[in-house]
Homo-oligomer: A and B are copies of this chain.
Amino acid sequence: MTQKQSVTAALLVIGDEILSGRTKDQNIGFTAEFLTKIGIDLAEVRVVPDIQKEIVAALNALRVRYDYVFTTGGIGPTHDDITADAVAAALGLELIEDPRAIALLLEIIKPENLNEARRRMARIPRGADLIENPISKAPGFWIQNVIVMAGVPSIMQAMLNAVAPKLSTGAPMIAETIVAGNVPEGTYAADLARLASDHSQLSIGSYPHVVDGKFHNQIVVRGKDAELVGQVVEKVRAMITRLSAG
Interface of A toward B, CB cutoff 8 Å: 13, 15-25, 28-36, 41-50, 54, 76-80, 109, 113, 115-118, 120-121, 135-136, 152, 154-155, 173, 175, 177, 185-186, 188-190, 192-193, 196-197, 203-210, 213, 215, 220, 222
How many copies of this chain? 2
- Since A18-B29, A117-B186, A117-B193 are in contact, a sample of 5 more A-B pairs with Cβ atoms closer than 8 Å, ordered by chain A residue number, is A20-B33, A50-B205, A79-B192, A79-B193, A135-B210
Which chain B residues border A50 with CB–CB below 8 Å? 203, 205
Query: Are A78 and B193 also in contact (CB < 8 A) when A46-B45, A185-B117 are?
Result: yes
Closest 5 CB pairs of A and B: A21-B33, A117-B189, A21-B32, A79-B193, A45-B47
Chain B residues within 8 Å of A155, by CB: 210
A208 touches B76 (CB 8 A): yes
Chain B residues with Cβ below 8 Å from A25 are: 28-29
**Contact status A135-B213, CB under 8 Å:** yes
- Distance between Cα atoms of A78 and B22 in the complex (Å): 34
Q: Using Cβ atoms and an 8 Å threshold, which residues of chain B touch A116?
A: 190
| CB nearest neighbor in B for A203 | B16
Whether A189 contacts B78 by the Cβ 8 Å rule is yes
**Which residue on chain B has the smallest CB distance to residue A194?**
B79
Question: A104 CB to closest chain B CB, in angstroms?
Answer: 14
Nearest chain B residue, comparing its CB with the CB of A219: B78
Give the nearest-CB partner of A113 in chain B: B186
The CB with the most chain B CB atoms within 10 A, among A30, A113, A208, A222, is that of A208
